Amino acid sequence: MRKFKLVTLVVLSLVVFFSIPQWGQTEQERVDIYKKEANGFNFGIKLFGNMSHLIGKHDVNEAHKGWNNLVNDSAEAWGESVDGQLKTLGFGPFFGGELTLSFIPHFTIGLGVGYIQFTKESTVTITDPWSTMEFTRKPKITAIPLTLSLYYNIPLGKTLNAVVGAGVGYYLGKFQNNIHERFDDEGIAILFEADSNSIGFHGGLDLELNISRTMALVFGVSGRCVKLKDLMGTFSVDWEDAPYDTYVVPDQTLWYVEEDYSWGEDDPLAGKWYAGLATNDEKPEWSFYRNVRKAKISMSSIALQIGILIRLSQLFK
């Protein structure tokens, strides 16, 4: 929240700073400036932010749904009490900036960098006549995208432009899966973290509202398609209430699995398979797993965004 307030304050300060010198301009003067800007070399900076929402199938969300189904089926079979459920990943903040370069009318190149994050913490408590179990999950996906974009500008009026854009990005991604489990008075913390870099694609439609010769407000809708694959990292276990050292296993791959939790044919869970995530150095071939494959952590999403475009080249004209 503090970071969001700081970004908002900076954006508002830039709006005021770059708008003040133009308050005395007439409409005709603005039109003349925009016509001049359409010719020759121009450059600027675009700053933007949004709340992105994940779309499509997501292995983390499928694993959480599978775990919720397991807990509910188990509670019904064994008379347990369940409070809460694991939540799926949805919205996440994205902030970024671009250096914009224009050499010919209507076309602009953007060189950008940003930061995107998706995370959600949730806790489930299971109670039976003998014990209380508490399970907490907090998956976290972060990435720094380095992007190259091409924009086509369509004038809609004296102060309004439509901008259609598309591009490619190289995503420096990281995935963390934080798990905490407590059985009565004993707790255990499990962490899997891995880095994964991937190429993704993005596109969108913006409306630029020119409020001065140096600045425009930008409103738009955008989308991206990118997945983190081949996630190999470190798996660690920390027994919080026992005199054991933290158990660390490197070079572990994250797998998507469907698991059979039953003990045999007479078990109430027999014949049921539950989606989940597992770590192992090689593909698990155990009988209680099926449909095993390497996990894919998606960051494909859509968003409504807002930003500002500062035409730095106009400061020198």
Does pLDDT of 79 surpass 70?
yes
pTM attached to this predicted model: 0.83
Compute the C-alpha angle 119/122/128, nearest 5°. 160
- Rounded CA separation 313/36 (Å): 11
Domain that holds residue 101: 2-316
Cβ contact 256:275 at 8 Å: yes
What integer pLDDT is reported at residue 6 of this predicted model?
47
Q: What's the domain count of the chain?
A: 1
Task: Specify burial of residue 90 (Cβ count, 10 A radius: 0-12, 13-18, 19+).
Answer: middle
- Rounded CA separation 169/189 (Å): 35
H or E stretch covering 72:
helix 59-78
What integer pLDDT is reported at residue 213 of this predicted model?
85
Residues forming beta bridges with residue 221, ordered by sequence position: 205, 304
HSE of 179, CA atoms in CB hemisphere, 13 A: 17
Does pLDDT of 139 surpass 90?
yes
In 42-131 the beta strands, taken as DSSP E runs, fall at 42-54, 81-83, 91-102, 107-119, 122-127
Q: pLDDT, tens digit, for every residue of 16-64?
A: 444 444 444 445 554 554 555 555 688 999 999 999 999 988 999 999 9
More confident residue, 82 or 29: 82
| Pairing of β 297-298 and β 301-310 | unpaired
Burial call 4-26: b when 16+ CB within 10 Å, e when fewer: eeeeeeebeeebeebeeebeeee
